[in-house]
């Protein structure tokens, strides 16, 4: 899990300052790793206990909104200078829905776990990986995205708390009091969006919300429109009538 977070990011070090996405910087700070020049990440403390002490990014498949994920090909070096052991890894992170489709095995509580946290306003990112054995680092670096993002192993969820800006609630209330309609446009998880909408008054705090989602059938041959009722006083989602799409 640490190697996924340390190796799957777009952070760069410029004049000893880390520049990039705030969530990625927060993740690196939490695992106590730091990004250096040359796309290398190392533990912040030299004495940190780990058998593999250096992650070098060989290639990035950058985040795409249509794919909802980012993938990197990395080299993980061992701490032994004499042996110079290296291991190739595919490290991937993205929306739980997108990563689920790439996993070799999906844990039984996968969906219920991320639903639990998204309904409470957290931003949830799924983490996955696989080791690449029996090949050179050059071959790893030249892998295509489709090849890399297959048969991945689940490494856990990254759960982030993203508090509202201090003036968000007051600004939205002012708009509503002046007869403006307030609408949220977001690329975040829909359950997280419902939570934020309640916190800001866009959606009635105690009212249930009806959410329309698109789900792929088990056979993968058709998509299904699925209504979910999100209760204000419960973490439970109740599925309503579904309608098949052509």
Mean pLDDT of 31-54: 76
β-pairing verdict for 153-160 and 17-19: unpaired
Q: List residues bridging with 213 in a β-sheet.
A: 226
Nearby residues of 233 by Cβ (< 8 Å), 6 or more positions away: 206
pLDDT at position 17: 82
pLDDT at 86 over 50: yes
3 state DSSP class of 188: coil
pLDDT tens-digit series, residues 188-224: 777 788 878 888 888 876 667 788 877 766 565 667 8
pLDDT at position 93: 96
pLDDT-derived band of residue 145, with 50, 70 and 90 as boundaries?
A: very high
User: What is the b/e burial string over 146-169, where b = at least 16 CB atoms within 10 angstroms of the residue's CB?
Assistant: eebbeebebbebbeeeeeeeeeee
The edge-to-edge listing of strands for the beta sheet with 69-78 is 33-36, 40-43, 52-64, 69-78, 86-94, 123-132, 153-160
Other CB atoms within 10 A of residue 37 CB: 9
- Mean pLDDT, the chain, as a whole number? 81
pLDDT at 87 over 60: yes
- CA distances 209 to 112, 185, 225, 236, Å, are 18, 16, 16, 12
pLDDT at position 166: 82
CB 76 within 8 A of CB 54: yes
CB 74 within 8 A of CB 61: no
pTM metric for this prediction: 0.73
**Which helix (H) or strand (E) covers residue 237, if one does?**
strand 237-244
pLDDT at 244 over 60: no
Q: Helices in 77-178 by DSSP H: which ranges?
A: 96-100, 110-118, 137-141, 145-148, 168-177
Mean pLDDT of 143-156: 94
Mean pLDDT of 161-170: 83
**Between residues 188 and 68, which one has the greater pLDDT?**
68
**Between residues 23 and 157, which one has the greater pLDDT?**
157
> Of the candidates 70, 156, 153, which has an alpha carbon nearest to the alpha carbon of residue 113?
156
Mean pLDDT of 53-67: 89
pLDDT at 136 over 50: yes
pLDDT-derived band of residue 80, with 50, 70 and 90 as boundaries?
A: very low
> Of the candidates 32, 140, 125, which has an alpha carbon nearest to the alpha carbon of residue 86?
140
pLDDT at position 161: 85
**Between residues 10 and 134, which one has the greater pLDDT?**
10
β-pairing verdict for 69-78 and 86-94: antiparallel
């Amino acid at each position: 899990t640490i190697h996924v977070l340390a190796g799957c990011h777009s952070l760069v070090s410029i004049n000893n300052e880390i520049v990039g996405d705030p969530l990625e910087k927060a993740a690196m700070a939490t695992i106590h790793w730091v990004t250096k020049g040359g796309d290398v990440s190392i533990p912040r403390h030299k004495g940190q206990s780990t058998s593999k002490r250096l992650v070098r990014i060989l290639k990035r498949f950058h985040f795409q909104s249509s794919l909802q994920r980012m993938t990197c090909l990395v080299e993980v070096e061992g701490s032994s200078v004499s042996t110079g052991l290296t291991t190739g890894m595919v490290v991937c992170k993205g929306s739980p829905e997108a990563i689920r489709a790439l996993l070799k095995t999906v844990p039984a509580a996968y969906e219920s776990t991320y639903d639990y946290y998204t309904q409470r306003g957290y931003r949830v990112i799924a983490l996955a990986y696989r080791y690449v054995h029996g090949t050179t680092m050059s071959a790893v670096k030249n892998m295509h995205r489709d090849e890399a993002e297959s048969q991945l192993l689940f490494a856990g969820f990254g759960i982030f708390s993203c508090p509202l800006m201090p003036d968000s609630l007051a600004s939205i209330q002012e708009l509503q009091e002046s007869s403006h309609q307030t609408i949220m446009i977001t690329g975040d998880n829909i359950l997280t969006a419902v939570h934020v909408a309640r916190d800001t008054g866009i959606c009635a705090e105690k009212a249930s919300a009806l959410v329309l989602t698109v789900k792929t059938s088990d056979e993968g041959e058709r998509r299904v429109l699925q209504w979910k009722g999100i209760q204000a006083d419960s973490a439970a989602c109740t599925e309503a009538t579904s309608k098949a799409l052509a």
